[in-house]
Amino acid sequence: MTASSQRSAIITGGSGGIGRAAALRLADDGVRVLIHYSGNAQAAQETADAVVVAGGTAVVFGGDVADEDQMQEMFAAAIEAFGGIDVVVNTAGIMPLAPIAAMDLEIFDRIQRTNVRGTFVVNQLAARQLRAGGAIINFSTSMTRLQMPGYGAYAASKGAVEAMTLILARELRGRDITVNAIAPGPTATPLFFTGKTQEQIDAIAKLNPMERLGTPEDIAEAVAFLAGPGRWINGQVLFANGGAA
């Protein structure tokens, strides 16, 4: 494969968890990756180093996904490094939990800014700049179906992500660009474990028939499918949760 024909991807939130697993999995398919981070430059560089050690190509970029100027700079950096962009994977997100009645509205606004506005900003730029044959992969959550107490603000933000995903897929008619969302179930990432007791973790792990938490690698396989061979999957929400809902 020549450099000009090799596919390239931006992965927001690529410094850890699902983002890191997705970067490594796409790199295994020969995709060059830009690994975005918002605060942990060291973790992003460690992910990039792991990609390079495995024989892939990676660069890193730090910025706020909800800031359109910073994200435009990120897209420009990817184009400069790779010559174009084929895949955008939006794993960046935050998940503070509280009952709706108790949720601090400043925290609620922060969740919506990162998860909704951030996805919208990156999708807008991707819609303008992805090459034909490309894929936009957003991230929702199975909590929109599981409806567990405490997840109201987070699930609301991901409901918005699903809506924009389905509409953008139809707005890109004729462009040969797919737009889908992955809705993971509970997945063993630092974001999931934060603030939970072992008893809570064990109970949540039992929700699906597989009776375990998902792994970042489980979700990365879904990313690789939508980024590569899954060209006839478009305008869909793929629930990757072991059968929990």
Q: 65 is in which domain, residue-wise?
A: 8-240
Position 190 scores a pLDDT of 83
Supply the CATH number for residue 22's domain.
3.40.50.720
Q: Which of 37, 75, 154, 225 is catalytic?
A: 154
List the structure tokens of 137: 């992969």
Residue ranges in the chain modelled with pLDDT below 50: 1-2, 4
Residues 28 and 9: their CA atoms lie apart, in Å, by 13
Q: Report if residue 123 sits inside a domain.
A: yes
Residues 52 and 38: their CA atoms lie apart, in Å, by 21
Q: Give the strand order in the sheet containing 58-62.
A: 58-62, 32-37, 8-12, 87-90, 135-139, 178-184, 237-240
pTM: 0.95
Which distant-in-sequence residues (6+ apart) come within 8 Å of 128 by Cβ?
none
Position 172 scores a pLDDT of 98
SS (H, E, C) the chain: CCCCCCCEEEEECCCCHHHHHHHHHHHHCCCEEEEEECCCHHHHHHHHHHHHHCCCCEEEEECCCCCHHHHHHHHHHHHHHHCCCCEEEECCCCCCCCCHHHCCHHHHHHHHHHHHHHHHHHHHHHHHHCCCCCEEEEECCCHHHHCCCCCHHHHHHHHHHHHHHHHHHHHCCCCCCEEEEEEECCECCHHHHCCCCHHHHHHHHCCCCCCCCECHHHHHHHHHHHHCCCCCCCCCEEEECCCCC
Q: Report if residue 213 sits inside a domain.
A: yes
Q: Report if residue 125 sits inside a domain.
A: yes
Q: Report if residue 245 sits inside a domain.
A: no
What is the tens place of the pLDDT at every residue in 181-195?
999 999 998 878 888
Q: Report if residue 1 sits inside a domain.
A: no
Q: Report if residue 78 sits inside a domain.
A: yes
Q: Report if residue 3 sits inside a domain.
A: no
The answer to whether the beta carbons of residues 130 and 86 sit under 8 Å apart is yes
Position 2 scores a pLDDT of 47
What is the tens place of the pLDDT at every residue in 88-136?
999 999 999 999 999 999 999 999 999 999 999 999 999 999 999 999 9
Residues 204 and 140: their CA atoms lie apart, in Å, by 18
Going by C-alpha positions, the residue among 161, 182, 191 that lies closest to residue 96 is 191
CA separation (Å) from 142 to 81, 139, 216? 35, 10, 15
Residues 68 and 197: their CA atoms lie apart, in Å, by 37
Count of domains for the chain: 1
Position 1 scores a pLDDT of 46
Q: Report if residue 85 sits inside a domain.
A: yes
Residues 230 and 223: their CA atoms lie apart, in Å, by 10
Is 37 among the residues known to form the active site? no
